[in-house]
Amino acid sequence: MRYDVVVIGEPLIEFVADEPLSAATAFTLGFAGDALNAAVAAAAAGARTALLTRLGSDELSDRLVAYLSVHGVSTDLVLRESGQSGAYVLGADPDGTRAFAYLRAGSAATRLTPADVDAAGLGDTRAVLFSGITAALSESCLLAVRRAARVVRESGGHVVYDPNFRARLTTAEAASAAFTQLAPDLTVALPSAPSDTAALFGCTSAVEAARAVHERGTPIAVVTQGHRGVAVSERGHLTELPVVPAPHIVDATGAGDSFAGTLTARLALGDDLLGAVRLGTAAASLALGGRGGTGHVASLAESRAHLSGHATV
């Protein structure tokens, strides 16, 4: 068994400002993107984790690869090519609303293929995690994640999907169709309500969303609802869990990815579903305290302490 968790998707070079995008001139360089955010969270939660992606060969991509290694994510499945890596710019309005600008069209990650998945050999991976962002990057990315889902599901692993609907990348119709194609091979879907659930299923309630997930063939739905809690549905058996109060809220970017990465890691390591979800809520709560997608990556010990009410931050 080489990896507990393989995350598939596009890491992004991040430029983050404390000011609105319309006025900001000073940006801090970081490394984020939903796949990277989730991968570093999975590694921090104790899983042997690899990121499967394609990156460019420029200096910032070299730094991104180094960042992954420093954070315990294997780069053995990172394919380098002469193209450009994706990037995004993140600003914050005075009311805390985040605004994104993307520099990712035609990026290296959009050229990920099913052949890359085959070459990665995921048959002995305990869990694979990817998102609707990955599925929306290109037709070949959608085919790649479909292949990964099939391979890992057939070998008895967990297949976790975070729909992460982004109107800038896809349409509600296409996101919904992608989910319907993937759903029979998923073991866990993590839609957030109301954004993902409205786009994919035309509903806002967690119960309706869970039903829609099950109807399409996925046995477990974990519906995140921001600060309002998490609804966990195992084939229709519903458990409502509260979130862990955040000690410090700076920026919500990446909280959902931290949740997804931590949950996937703990499932891969054999934790029960509700235990894995609870640890995910603790890691996500701490992630809110950092600027950008990876401003605060909570260690396993820190998340456990936070969950048990003995926060170390």
Total of residues contacting ligand KDG (CB under 6 A):
14
Which one of 87, 170, 259, 264 is in contact with ligand ATP (CB under 6 A)? Answer: 259
User: Among 30, 91, 157, 293, which residue sits at the site for ligand KDG (rule: CB under 6 A)?
Assistant: 293
Residue placing its CB nearer to ligand ATP in the complex, 98 or 153: 98
Comparing CB distances to ligand KDG, the nearer of 192 and 233 is: 192
At 24, give phi and psi (nearest 5°).
-65, 140
254 touches ligand KDG by CB under 6 A: yes
Residue type, 229: G
Calculate ∠ Cα 5-11-14, nearest 5°: 140
Three-state DSSP class for residue 72: coil
CA distance 205 to 213: 12
- Give the DSSP letter string of 229-280: -EEEEETTEEEEEPPPPPS--S--TTHHHHHHHHHHHHHHTT--HHHHHHHH
Closer Cβ to ligand ATP, 170 or 195, answer by number: 195
**Of the residues 107, 281, 294, 303, which one makes contact with ligand ATP according to CB under 6 A:** 281
For 266-307, the three-class secondary structure string (H helix, E strand, C coil) is: HHHCCCCHHHHHHHHHHHHHHHCCCCCCCCCCCCHHHHHHHH
Can residue 12 be called a binding residue for ligand KDG (CB under 6 A)? yes
If binding is defined by CB under 6 A, does position 256 make contact with ligand ATP?
yes
Per-residue x/- track, 17-56, ligand KDG (CB under 6 A): ---------------xxx--x-------------------
How far apart are the two ends of the chain, measured CA to CA in Å?
34
At 128 the three-state DSSP class reads: strand
Q: How far is the CB of 108 from ligand ATP (least distance, A)?
A: 23
Q: Does 166 bind ligand KDG (CB under 6 A)?
A: yes
Closest CA to 7 of 206, 191, 261: 261
Using Cβ positions, the residue closest to ligand ATP within the complex turns out to be: 256
- The DSSP output letter for 93 is -
15 binds ligand KDG (CB under 6 A): no
- Contact positions vs ligand KDG (CB under 6 A): 12, 32-34, 37, 88, 133, 164, 166, 253-254, 256-257, 293
- Contact positions vs ligand ATP (CB under 6 A): 164, 192, 195, 224-227, 230, 243, 246, 252, 254-257, 259, 281, 284-285, 288
